[in-house]
A and B are shown apart, each in its own frame.
Chain A
Amino acid sequence: MEDKHQWPLYEVFVRARGGLDHKHTGSLHAPDAAMALSHARDLYTRRQEGVSIWVVPSTAIVASDPAENDSLFEPARDKIYRHPTFYEIPDEVKTL
């Protein structure tokens, strides 16, 4: 689906602070990867939102098919024993 009048799409991931993960924050069009990084800086870190940016061509992302949600995600619903909810958590543990 190549459209010559439209730049390729990139997905943008921004790390808010050192130690945190890069989070998907949006997407943008750019003629190439270096420009995508520049655009991402201008569009998504204007208000000091981050300290690091990744850009990834959207075509490089393989996504699950929503039509398959039943078989992919439904089976996990009744397996509550997979959640660690049966443990006593000591009061001292604050950030679990």
Chain B
Amino acid sequence: MNAKLPNVDAQALFHYVLRLGDLSLILGQRLGEWVGHAPALEEDLGVANIALDLIGQARLLLSYAGEIEGCGRDEDKLAYLREQGGYFNAILAEQPNGDFGQTIVRQVLIDAFQLELYERMTGSLDERLASIAAKSVKEVRYHLRYSSGWLVRLGDGTEESHARVQSALNTLWPYTVELFAEDDLDQLMADSGIAPRLSAVHAAWSARLEGILADSTLLRPADRPHLWHGKRGQHSEHLGYILAEMQYLQRAYPEACW
């Protein structure tokens, strides 16, 4: 099972794998809020499918993180029993759903990021991450097909739908900077051949977004300096509410299981 860990500081790798896992976990939890509320029954299932894919990815990543840490924490303990500061997702994932258009914009931005990241991570020197990336990349490719399909229809739709998704794009765009802001940990992972360079991921993401936004007749907002540090555990006010709902059961009934 626990074949061999890559030759890199375990604490750093643990932290990095949590970044990947938490992005999927928190986004999946957010998408789950649509269940029973989506604009049509068909979208209800479409969004729920994506949420389940993301939570599946989170399970693989958090299980791996638990093994790296070696303190006996499994995927459930990591998902449900950490404090807010122990989550390392970029804060774009925790931004509110807003209307369906805003959810779609957030989804396109993150789907395209995960696609470019995982495509490159299939060649990771960390075999476990390489295999998780290979499995996830197929799911993410469909997620982007779904979300960008909707973005094109809404952006190139009615005056109302165009205005709403453009406004959502303007609101969410600044948070994308954090996805690509390379810190010491990202650098260490790239230097060790575990993760791709974020600059390469960013270039590919930008090119892909360029095409999707053009098809959607949406304007790309200007990049601005960022002050977000979700990847270091500093979150927006939204994460606390997400965790309150997500962790309620495990907090109220410790060790409860199906």
Contacts and interface: CB of A to CB of B under 8 A. Distances in A.
B45 to A, nearest CB: 5
B45 A42 contact: yes
Interface in A8-45: 28-32, 34-35, 38-39, 41-43
Given A34-B149, A35-B149, A28 B42 contact: yes
Contact of A38 (B40, B41, B149): B149
B139 to A, nearest CB: 12
Contacts of B229: none
B46 A38 contact: yes
A35 B153 contact: yes
A30 B46 CA distance: 12
B135 interface: no
Contacts of A31: 153
Nearest to A34: B149
Nearest to A32: B153
Nearest to B48: A42
Given A42-B49, A46-B49, A30 B42 contact: yes
Nearest to B43: A39
Contacts of B46: 38-39, 42
B251 interface: no
- Place the interface of chain B in its size category: 10 to 19
B173 interface: no
Interface string A80-92: 0000000000000
A32 B149 CA distance: 11
B37 interface: no
Contacts of A34: 149
Contacts of B40: 7, 29
A26 to B, nearest CB: 11
B145 interface: yes
Contacts of A39: 42, 45-46
B34 interface: no
A55 to B, nearest CB: 12
A43 B45 contact: yes
A38 B49 contact: no
Contacts of B142: 41
A29 B46 CA distance: 13
B107 to A, nearest CB: 14
B257 to A, nearest CB: 24
Given A38-B149, A42-B42, A42-B46, 5 more contacts: A29-B40, A29-B42, A32-B153, A35-B153, A46-B49
Chain A to chain B: the 4 pairs with minimum beta-carbon distance, closest first: A39-B42, A42-B46, A42-B49, A42-B45
20 contacts: A28-B42, A29-B40, A29-B41, A29-B42, A30-B42, A32-B153, A34-B149, A35-B149, A38-B46, A38-B145, A38-B146, A39-B42, A39-B45, A42-B42, A42-B45, A42-B46, A42-B49, A42-B146, A43-B42, A46-B49
